Homo-oligomer: A and B are copies of this chain.
Amino acid sequence: MTLLNETHDPARKSWVTSANGHEQFPIQNLPFAIFREANTKDQWRGGVAIGDSILDMAKVAALNLLHGDAKRATQAASETSLNTLMGLGATQNSALRLALSNALLEGSEHQAALESCLIAQADAEFNMPCHVTDYTDFYTSIHHATAVGSLFRPDNPLLPNYKWVPIGYHGRSSSIGVSGQTFPRPVGQTKKPDASTPDFGPCQRLDYELEMGVFIGQGTTLGQRIKITEAEQHIFGMCILNDWSARDIQAWEYQPLGPFLAKNFASTISPWIVTTEALAPFREAFTRPESDPQPLEYLTSEANTQVGNLDIALSCLIQTEKMRQNDQTPQQLSASNFIHSYWTPAQLVTHHSVNGCPMTPGDLLGSGTQSGPEADEAGSLLELTQGGKKSLTLDNGETRKFLEDGDAIIMRAHCRRDGAVTIGFGEVVGTLLPAVF
């Protein structure tokens, strides 16, 4: 089963020479963002990353070079958010990808015209790529679920439903921001284990969560179910997601209805959305240990089994206030891979809609923290410090159990594979400010 086409051809080079060999944005990638020239009040608009530049889709639309589906998709991509583009669906988005790939290809007849549509990424600022219509966070790493479960419920870490149900819960759209987001340390109720009454004050156990985000493309109406065989047609693409978490608030509030204020003060995503089609070369078989139950029939398809998984290398770094003052580069905290996910993106979409829940272009599905099986593959401080029992010592001598004011967390994601051109998701950066209290 191959999902590859000419746009994935490793031999393709672009006349945008910075794209060739670019570790994030070669011509095989072509991710979307919403951008404008920095320090202006220009209209936000869609752009496509190519090497060190952005192809301004509003300018491309004005040139009227493309035709048919690609033309309609270009118009959608020139809007102030990508929701319309997402809603066009896989066929039109694929047509746009092919047209852009050809137009950016070495020797394209459109080179002269499109050169006027480029802006350096260094000169741009980014907005949210779309209006997030609804946000759902899943819990797809069994390693994370087991590690966190053993801290919150030592006697019962992995609940009996975990291997059957892609566990998820609704999150908050209003506090999702794009890379560069800053937010004050949240304030709220916490309770010490031996206290009889709760405390009120700034969170003492602030954490990040290393996740991937899945953006829904074409939507559905109430009562409509997305079959597993059609699920990927409804996925526009993926981004990096940092689902900041206040562990002490979470521990006190989360029963019986789940996390609430522990999660909804901020979540940060990368500006770039890498499309489903761009990820095709990095697909993997979806497998389960023989001792685990196989997914129920509605979560099973031949394509999902053969190529439903994705090989996306993830890393998480910290840059403290002191590191910034001393011009020290960020230090890596952990590295993991999306391939450890217990459920595939298609399974998440199918499960989410199996009850008739309407999906909307711009819905964001978080993968949940992508911890791997090894201790240094943990996607949160909660896991790396064993719930704050163990201190991490950074290279500059600072120590961390949880985040301190001024800490910036940087997350990166790449797809690398023999025979394919490496692509990247850019990065997501978020910075914790002191509590306003």
Contacts and interface: CB of A to CB of B under 8 A. Distances in A.
A165 B139 contact: no
Contacts of A259: 169, 257-258
A342 interface: no
A222 interface: yes
A357 B172 contact: yes
Interface in A266-308: 266, 293, 296-298
A264 B357 contact: yes
A391 to B, nearest CB: 26
Interface in A234-260: 246, 249, 252-260
Interface residues of A, number: 67
Given A183-B223, A183-B356, A260-B168, A173 B134 contact: yes
B355 A168 contact: no
B436 A225 contact: yes
A187 interface: yes
Contacts of A253: 161, 165, 167
Contact of A169 (B153, B164, B169, B363): B169
A159 interface: yes
A356 B184 contact: yes
Contacts of A26: none
Contact of A254 (B133, B203, B256): B256
A200 B296 contact: yes
A265 interface: yes
Contacts of A355: 186-188, 203, 246, 249, 261, 264-265
B266 A222 contact: yes
Nearest to A266: B222
A228 B219 CA distance: 39
Contact of A170 (B169, B252, B256, B265): B169
Contacts of A233: none
A256 B187 contact: no
Identify which of A153, A169, A261, A356 gathers the most chain B CB atoms within 10 Å of its CB. Answer: A356
27 contacts: A133-B173, A152-B256, A161-B253, A164-B189, A165-B253, A168-B260, A169-B170, A169-B258, A170-B170, A173-B173, A174-B222, A175-B358, A177-B222, A183-B222, A184-B223, A186-B355, A200-B298, A223-B433, A249-B355, A256-B258, A258-B258, A258-B259, A261-B352, A261-B354, A261-B357, A264-B355, A266-B356
10 nearest interchain CB pairs?
A: A258-B258, A186-B355, A170-B170, A169-B257, A257-B258, A265-B355, A174-B358, A264-B357, A261-B355, A184-B223
